[in-house]
Amino acid sequence: MLPSPRWDDLQAFLAVARAGRLTAAARRMGIEHTTLSRRIARLESDLGTPLFDRLPTGYDLTVDGQALVPRAEEMERAALGIWSGRPGSETDLSGTVRIGTPEAFGTFCLAERIGELALTHPGLSIELVATPRAFSLSKREADLAIGLSPPVTGRLHARKLGDYELGLYGSRAYLDRCGTPSTPDDLKTHRYIGYIDELVFSPELDYFALALPGLEPSIRISNVITQMTATLSGAGLCILPCFMADRQHELVRVAPKSVRILRAYWMLTHSNLRKLRRIRVAADFVGTIVKDARAAMVPTAA
């Protein structure tokens, strides 16, 4: 009689398949990497086939491993459905929710109010990952991800949170020294701060040529918070989200009629997880934050 794979072994398999590295998967599961390794070895022994190629760069799925992923995910969906529908699950909210977000949104919208979610649901463990990158929900890099566009592929659900506005800003000291531009010709005489082209993680951030055609940044920085810090220091003019720049008393918006960009935030969830109560609660909380911040997100419409 063939052995039946244990569910915790299949969970271990999915964790490693998504993370690509044993240590990262073990950390996410909250177990020792030696325990995780034993579970993978046991599953491979039970199935009689290797599921991963162990490489110096990480764990790559074999052909049999790739074939097992959708079948293991079916079991995962069934298990999640059982636990989300168990008696008391609607009132006893617990577990971990990881929210992946661009650094500006995470820092200036979520971080200052995330304590409200923790206070309302003390059994909930909240992880906020605010960094300039795209998150893979299929690899469980996040349970909720805030993106700049809806997904085009994958088993993902997208919900538009709302628009946000960007404008051109400079520090008072810089403008006193170099003058405040008021015409398109004035804009040509200034120094600009922008993104490093090859490090732009979303095409929606590639707005410099759209807003300032014919001009190029002479200072390029990989993330928007550091860009704002450089702008505050008087290094030049920079296109920044209004909801973060308008909080800085030393920053002044210039040429608002000429330089106004609208972008949107989208909340992305994996189809396997979106019906779990802890995910729904966290998603509704993020939606409420954006709704409350509407006037700051799009100030010219307020």
Q: What is the pLDDT of residue 275?
A: 78
Q: Which of 295, 299, 269, 270 is nearest to 284 (CA)?
A: 269
> Are 52 and 41 in a shared domain?
yes
pLDDT in tens, 148-159: 988 777 678 889
**Which of 84, 106, 133 represents a domain boundary (last residue)?**
84
Residue 168 has φ and ψ, to the nearest 5°, of: -100, 130
Dihedral of CA 89/93/97/99: which sign?
Answer: positive
> Are 254 and 180 in a shared domain?
yes
Give a yes or no: residue 2 inside a domain: no
Give the Cβ contact number of residue 249 at 10 Å.
7
> What mean pLDDT is reported for the chain?
86
Q: How confident is the model at residue 1 (pLDDT cuts 50, 70, 90)?
A: very low
> Are 214 and 145 in a shared domain?
no
> Are 67 and 210 in a shared domain?
no
pLDDT in tens, 180-222: 998 888 999 999 999 998 888 888 888 888 889 999 999 999 9
Answer whether 240's CB lies under 8 Å from 208's CB.
no
pLDDT in tens, 86-140: 544 444 577 888 999 999 999 999 998 999 998 888 888 899 999 888 787 777 7
Structural domain boundaries, residue 43: 7-84
Q: Examine the pLDDT at 5 and tell me if it is beyond 70.
A: no
Give a yes or no: residue 90 inside a domain: no
Q: How far, CA to CA in Å, does 270 sit from each of 14, 115, 163, 294?
A: 15, 24, 22, 26
How many domains does the structure of the chain reveal?
A: 3
